[in-house]
């Protein structure tokens, strides 16, 4: 690792408000598989293993945080809040706040296709950074980082406990319980072009099927996902 890269990583450490004992861990957390594939002589792997670890650490730390913050919530309520907090969208949003995209190591294809601002890449990098902090400083360091990073999201939930992204929450729940990804399909559309109403079905294999309605496809998908989550509560 050259001096320029080390200085860059130290800058990100300051943004994250965490000082690494082994800054190589931070570098690995920012190394996308596309870059590792294009650089087979790289001294370390891509960030996928750290992402795997970080996902588990985030789930545990967020469970710890929510148990303390919401002592009256049931297990089901805690699971819903946690799923809303740790899905790709908020993770990518936090990664943008910390300017993670500018420090990523990407392959040429991802670089040219706007990979530095893709939710999937940023969300994965966010989890990998959490994994790196855990390996570097242990559980308490990871917990402190997550408490700080997610504080505003948790506070926002207290003020307005509404699931703004039902699709992400449904996917998280479906993959966790059934190892299946929800599917969406248009089953109807009515009204003039300037004021259409869409009907969209959300299904999880043969387990559940619901229909949502909205003024656009996204709105109808969210409505279908919301209804699917309600049904899953009774299963």
Residue 127 catalytic?
yes
Half-sphere exposure for 57 (CA within 13 Å, toward CB): 28
* Catalytic one of 27, 46, 51, 55: 55
Locus of tokens 């040429």: 108
* Residue tagged 């308490």 (tokens): 140
The yes-or-no answer on residue 55 being catalytic is: yes
Instruction: Dig out the tokens for 235 from the structure.
Output: 């299963």
Count of residues making up the chain: 235
Which residues, other chains included, contact 212 with Cβ-Cβ below 8 Å and sequence gap of 6+?
A: 199, 200, 201, 202, 219, 220, 221, 222, 223, 224, 225, 226, 227
Q: What's the CA dihedral at 99, 155, 64, 136 to 10 degrees?
A: 20
Active-site hit among 127, 172, 201, 223: 127
- How far is residue 163's CA from residue 165's CA, in Å, rounded to a whole number? 6
Residues labelled catalytic: 55, 127
């Amino acid at each position: 690792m050259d001096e320029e890269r080390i200085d860059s990583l130290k800058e990100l450490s300051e943004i994250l408000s965490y000082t690494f004992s082994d800054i190589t861990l931070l570098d690995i957390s920012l190394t996308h598989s596309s870059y590792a594939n294009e650089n087979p002589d790289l001294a370390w792997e891509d960030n996928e293993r750290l992402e795997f670890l970080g996902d588990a650490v985030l789930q545990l730390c967020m469970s710890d945080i929510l148990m303390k913050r919401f002592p009256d919530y049931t297990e089901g309520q805690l699971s819903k809040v946690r799923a809303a907090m740790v899905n790709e969208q908020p993770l990518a949003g936090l990664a943008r706040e910390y300017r993670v995209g500018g420090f990523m190591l990407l392959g040429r294809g991802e670089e040219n296709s706007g990979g530095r601002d893709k939710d999937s890449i940023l969300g994965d990098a966010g989890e990998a950074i959490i994994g790196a902090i855990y390996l570097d400083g242990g559980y308490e360091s990871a917990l402190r980082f997550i408490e700080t990073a997610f504080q505003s999201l948790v506070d926002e939930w207290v003020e307005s406990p509404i699931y703004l992204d039902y699709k992400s929450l449904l996917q998280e729940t479906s993959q966790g319980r059934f190892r299946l990804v929800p599917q969406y399909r248009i089953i109807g559309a009515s009204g003039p072009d300037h004021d259409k109403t869409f009907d969209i079905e959300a299904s999880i294999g043969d387990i559940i099927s619901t229909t949502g309605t909205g003024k656009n496809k996204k709105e109808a998908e969210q409505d279908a996902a919301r209804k699917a989550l309600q049904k899953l509560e009774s299963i």
